[in-house]
Structure 1
């Protein structure tokens, strides 16, 4: 494997530190065999507050292609597994049973003014498929990466067949490794397995609504995951994730209008994003405390100050084409809007630019935004600079971010 063979995109200049350690870390990763052993994103993990998982699953099953598979019950959590198929990551939705339950993931929310309002609600991180769990964990520990021990994993009520990292100091996300060969089933060793009638009913209702709205065949799997971090942590957050994963640095763009940059990483294994979504990192170009001097916009840094560093949105692809005289993305958005789900702006972009995009309102259950993106023809990027500026501005104007001070 050669993780440095790929063309670079974008106009964002990185520091000499970043360029030096990008090369050194990826060369080391290849040499140690990690790139060969670490593969696709197998699952995305989300935690919600008590009594929110059923409504959130109904929301997800309307707005995404996911299906309810099973619930794993442990002492303090309900863990619901949603799946499309084995060619796309699972969604793991954990619900804390007791509102007074306290743990490390709640602590990551509580020091942030908006994040603390939903203390157990956050994106946790990714589970990545590996071919030799023991060897990967051993190598990563030798590189000074830290994991929860098995007793910690048991207390956290996370699957016992995972190797799970401590939360990142830069993104507050975790990375977990699951040993699985291609074609083998995904199994999560946790609690008692059951199909809950109330969850099944919410799922079936959402899927029937998708059919009735004629959008069930238009929404495709997850395309990319976008994390927001503090300005000073942009480069180290990217380098850290590349060290945990088998991704490479695709490139970065300055979004001058919003005083931020958008940075993209992708799998070196050249699988489609539907199988292993791209990971995007967004950060301010300047820290918050110079904004009053420079008079610059700061939606990204303001988000992080209010919610903490965390996943901001999960983007899903929409099938290229038209339905009833509308582009598919507009047909989907119109249908979902009729069900009371709001969006932050109108669909932006054009066929001439290569894609159209839109952000939903943040979910009341997870605080995550859903992005829809429809690409035309052979367009293989993730955005245009004009689109990103408009999306970032719209997200920054959302209640609780731009106009609220704590």
Structure 2
């Protein structure tokens, strides 16, 4: 079965099912066998930049404020303890409202991590969580990336004009106003937007119940080396790679920076950045779509087994060799040893997948004035290691 890509609207579809593009109905001969490249994406960038200027979106959205991870109720406390044990994040506060139990974790100069579980059955993300290897985790995923905005009402007006769908209307609190999109059909994750009025970092709703916690952060010395959230990597289906990145750029002020192709593993690592110093958003996809376990490569196998979702959270790490040994000594297992070197500009490693969040931890250290973000050799080694999942 051949998969084609429409030269007009970039829709990917099976040639055996349609005689013409099912989206734009084009019937000309401008169809191409599907394989990802940067051509279409690069052509869209100036259009998106003009869209931002024309609508007033430019400069309206700032950097990442927090990520929201939802777990099964019995795993929420375990997930908090795990993050405290394996990162430099500290306990902030816990509370519950009508629908959720939430713990806030903080680190200096970093987006926060909110770990929560639902008290109700309703879950708009559940359909994205039912895959061959996630059957027992119907509520578990990093659900939302939350970005700070300067004027939420204006932002929502702009995006509603573009037919963006939100889960609710704007939620106004004393400390902040908040809204989030429906889960993206490309990544299964929502984008949230928050405007702070006062007490930035205080996520308590107006009516809540404080939850005391006896969870203590371990005092391992190496945890001081593990710092801010550097980036996350979301794995998406090959056919959705361009659409996922374009969607993200239209919702934020991030720009597509570069892509690293690892052809023999059928994988592309795509990086979007706000600036060199800000949290980076990484999307990883196949070059071609999933065919079967033998031919598809680790990235497409992951999306087949787990669905599109955040694969790992990466933490900037000083003294990475000492930190790596300390983590191992205290029970953390890894998919791969440290890869890279000072001469190459960086070192990285992947932990095994968390049984509580289904997320891998990456630990990364860049040396000196290295500004390449990644290297091809490291990306290749790290991608290959995820075959063990």
The 2-side partners of 1:149 and 1:387 are apart by 41
Aligned residue-pair number? 351
CA contact (8 A) 1:222 1:314 kept: yes
Residue among 165, 168, 175 paired with 2:184 = 168
Compute the RMSD of aligned alpha carbons: 2.2
**Structure having the larger proportion of residues in helix:** 1
CA contact (8 A) 2:177 2:196 kept: no
Residues 299-314 of structure 1 mapped to structure 2, 5 A cutoff: 299-314=298-313
The 1-side partners of 2:218 and 2:307 are apart by 33
Higher relative contact order (CA 8 A, sep 6+): 1
**C-alpha offsets along residues 127-184 of structure 1, whole Å, 9 cap, x if unaligned?**
1100100000000110111112239x79xxxx98311101111011101111137x85
Report what 1:402 is aligned to.
Answer: none
The 2-side partners of 1:381 and 1:369 are apart by 22
Report what 2:53 is aligned to.
Answer: 30
**C-alpha offsets along residues 217-239 of structure 1, whole Å, 9 cap, x if unaligned?**
21110111100000000111000
Report what 1:106 is aligned to.
Answer: 126
Residue among 255, 274, 277 paired with 1:272 = 277
Report what 2:240 is aligned to.
Answer: 233
The secondary structure found in structure 1 opposite 2:48 is helix
The secondary structure found in structure 1 opposite 2:73 is coil
Offset, 1:187: 3.5
Offset, 1:297: 4.7
**C-alpha offsets along residues 203-262 of structure 1, whole Å, 9 cap, x if unaligned?**
x2x332x2xxx2132111011110000000011100000111110111111112311111
Q: Cα gap change, 1:82/1:300 in structure 2, threshold over 3 Å: closer, same or farther?
A: same
Residue among 345, 354, 358 paired with 2:336 = 345
Gaps of 5+ in 2: 1-35
**C-alpha offsets along residues 54-90 of structure 1, whole Å, 9 cap, x if unaligned?**
22111111221211111121234211111124x3211
**C-alpha offsets along residues 259-295 of structure 1, whole Å, 9 cap, x if unaligned?**
111100001xx3623xxx1000000111112x58xx6
Q: Cα gap change, 1:272/1:195 in structure 2, threshold over 3 Å: closer, same or farther?
A: farther
**C-alpha offsets along residues 15-53 of structure 1, whole Å, 9 cap, x if unaligned?**
33x233221112111332212111011010100001212
Report what 1:52 is aligned to.
Answer: 75
Residue among 268, 273, 293 paired with 1:261 = 268
Residue among 373, 380, 387 paired with 2:378 = 387
Per the normalisation by structure 1, the TM-score is 0.81
The 2-side partners of 1:150 and 1:116 are apart by 31
The secondary structure found in structure 1 opposite 2:310 is strand
The secondary structure found in structure 2 opposite 1:264 is strand
Residues 6-25 of structure 1 mapped to structure 2, 5 A cutoff: 13-16=37-40, 18-25=41-48
